[in-house]
Amino acid sequence: MCALKLKSPVFDNGKGIPRKYGYKNENVNPPLVIKGVPKGTKSLALIMDDPDAMAPAGKVWDHWLIWNIPPNTKAIKEGSVPGRAVEGKNDYGKIGYGGPNPPDKEHTYVFELYALDQPLKLSKGASKGKLKKAMKGHVIEKTVLTGTYEP
């Protein structure tokens, strides 16, 4: 059983993400709460993407890539990056968080939190492909939180 948990105080798993976190609104990351980090975790990584973008965009849209989150992190505050964490480039072409912005209908956004056995040697602005490659063989545990957003 997975002990690692990711929740948000502003939306329940599978439910609507408040408008303010959207790309065309305040475009700040929602607050997240982390629990049950397994023993031996040296860093955490988070990927937020939109698999429903496949139809309109032709690919899974990357909204937020963040790694080297300190393992003792209990929460990621709204509009912030914890500790010495590093952010990658989203599909808006910017480093950092890029909020939901579905062009057609309600989309489901997936927040994947990974407990890793080492910090990652990746430069700021790295892509999801580079992040996934760097994490390969180092994932201790993974948990998922989903939220929906509509235009």
Pair of tokens at residue 45: 């990584």
What does the alpha-carbon distance between residue 129 and residue 44 come to, in Å, rounded to a whole number?
17
* pLDDT score of 1 more than 80: no
The pLDDT tens digits for 89-106 are: 999 999 999 999 999 999
DSSP annotation string for 5-70: EEE-SSS-TTEEPPGGGSTTTT--PPPEEEE-PPTT--EEEEEEEEGGGHHHHSSPEEEEEEEEE-
The average pLDDT across 45-54 equals 97
Q: What would the CATH number be for the domain defined by 5-149?
A: 3.90.280.10
> What does pLDDT average to over the chain?
97
pLDDT digits (tens, 9 = 90+) for 57-83: 999 999 999 999 999 999 999 999 998
| pLDDT recorded at residue 2 | 72
What is the structure's pLDDT at 112?
A: 98
Instruction: Provide the token pair at 28.
Output: 């700040």
Is the distance from CB of 151 to CB of 105 less than 8 angstroms?
Answer: yes
pLDDT reading at 24 higher than 80: yes
Joined together, the tokens standing for residue 70 give 């300190």
pTM check: above 0.95? yes
Give domain limits for the chain. 5-149
Please say whether the beta carbons of 64 and 97 come within 8 A. yes
Cβ–Cβ < 8 Å for 28, 97? yes
HSE-CB for 147 with a 13 A CA cutoff: 26
